[in-house]
Amino acid sequence: MDERRRRCAEPPPDGLIEGIRQFNGREFFECHETLEALWISEPGQVRELYQGILQVGVGFYHVGRGNYRGAVLTLRRGIERLESFPPACQGVVVDELVRQAKVAAEALVGLGPTRVDELDPRLIPVIELRSDPE
């Protein structure tokens, strides 16, 4: 089993649980701070999971501030980073997060830079965290 799959089978660390709670509460700035600390301290490949979730959250932070370009670029980076993971990793249902983030990103692109504030808030993903990591 490669390192990424082995680490994905582990339970989520406390920082990831807290970051997901913040993400789902739409506390995107706080989520960034929490997951950045986790990402920086993680030497293994699973750090890309933390960074991907962080970037998706930052994308929605930019949406809230009316920053279309920042929102689209950061969402795309986060999605791309997360797509390399198995469907579930450390309890995070990654494939569903990616699917939801893509739908939101496409809607945002459809709205364009002058209507970023019209993004339907129901399109903001909710990250599912399962108690069984895989």
pLDDT computed for residue 132 by the predictor: 62
Domains of the chain, first to last: 3-123 (1.10.3450.10)
**Whether the Cβ atoms of residue 86 and residue 5 lie closer than 8 Å to each other:** yes
Write the CA distances from 101 to 8, 41, 78, 113, integer angstroms.
20, 26, 9, 18
Please tell me the distance from the alpha carbon of residue 33 to that of residue 35, in angstroms, as a whole number.
6
Please tell me the distance from the alpha carbon of residue 16 to that of residue 35, in angstroms, as a whole number.
7
| Longest CA pairwise span in the chain (Å) | 47
Q: What is the pLDDT of residues 39-82, one digit of tens each?
A: 999 999 999 999 999 999 999 999 999 999 999 999 999 999 99
pTM score > 0.85 for this model?
A: yes
Q: How sure is the predictor about 102, in pLDDT bands with cuts at 50, 70 and 90?
A: very high
φ, ψ dihedrals at 103, nearest 5°: -60, -45
Query: How many CB atoms are closer than 10 A to CB 76?
Result: 17
